[in-house]
Amino acid sequence: MLESLKKDLSAVMVRDPAARSRLEVVLCYPGFHALCFHRLAHWLWHKNIRLPARWLSYFSRFFTGIEIHPAAVIGEGVFIDHGMGVVIGETAIIGDNVTIYHGVTLGGISLDKGPRHPRIGDGVIIGAGAKLLGPVRIGEGARIGSNAVVVDDVAEHTTVVGVPAHPLVRDMDAETGAFEAYGTPCDEHADPVQEELRELRQAVAALQAEIKRRHITVTPVAVPKPEKKESAS
C-alpha cells in the first residue's frame, strides 16, 4: 500500500507543474487524499470488513468530493487532478499511470452484479467531465477528451471526443507520445466536425472564385409571399 502511495505521489510531481513540493501534495491535494482513503478501504473490503470500508469511502467522499467504491481496483501512479465530482464505480478497473480530471464518471448502466463498469488501460488520460458508461474497455495510452461520452471500446493510443465519443481525424498524441493535459489536443484539424466545416468553406470559396472568373451574375430568386386569407366574418 505504501509503495503504491509513493508512486501516486511521484505521479503528481511529474504531471502537475503547479505542485511545488511533495509536502504540498500530501497536505493540499484532494485527489491524493482520495487515493489514500481508497487504498485503505480497498484493503478492508478484501478482508471482508465491508461496512467499515464503505464508511471510509463515504468519509472520503465528504472530505474530498471524490467518490470511489472500495471494491474498485486502482493501479499505481494514478493522478486524480482537482478531482471534485469524480465517481468510480464498484467493478471499475484502472491501470497504472492513469490521469483523471474533475467531473469524470466511470459508471455502470445495468443492474447486473457482474462487471458493469469501465476497464481503463495503463497510461490513459481522461479529460474533465468525461462519462465512461458500461463495461467498456479503454486501451493503453488512449485519450478521452473533456466532456466526451464513451459507450463503446476505445482502441490503444486513440483520442476520442464528442457525444457519443468518436476518434479524432488526426491523433496528435499517437504521433508525438507527449502527455496531453485533459486528454484533448488543441489542434484546428483535430475535430472531425471542424474538419468538415473547413472543407465546406473551401468548396464555397472555390465556387465563388469560379463564378467570378466566368463573370457569371447570380440573380437572387424572389420568393412570392403567401397570400393572406380573408377571415370569415
Which are the catalytic amino acids? 102
CA angle 48, 52, 57 (to 5 degrees): 110
For 65-215, where are the E strands, in sequence order?
Answer: 67-68, 73-74, 79-80, 87-88, 93-94, 99-100, 105-107, 119-120, 125-126, 131-133, 137-138, 143-144, 149-150, 159-161, 166-167
What are the C-alpha distances in Å from 13 to residues 25, 41, 223? 8, 24, 66
CB 138 within 8 A of CB 154: yes
Sign of CA dihedral 119, 52, 81, 10: negative
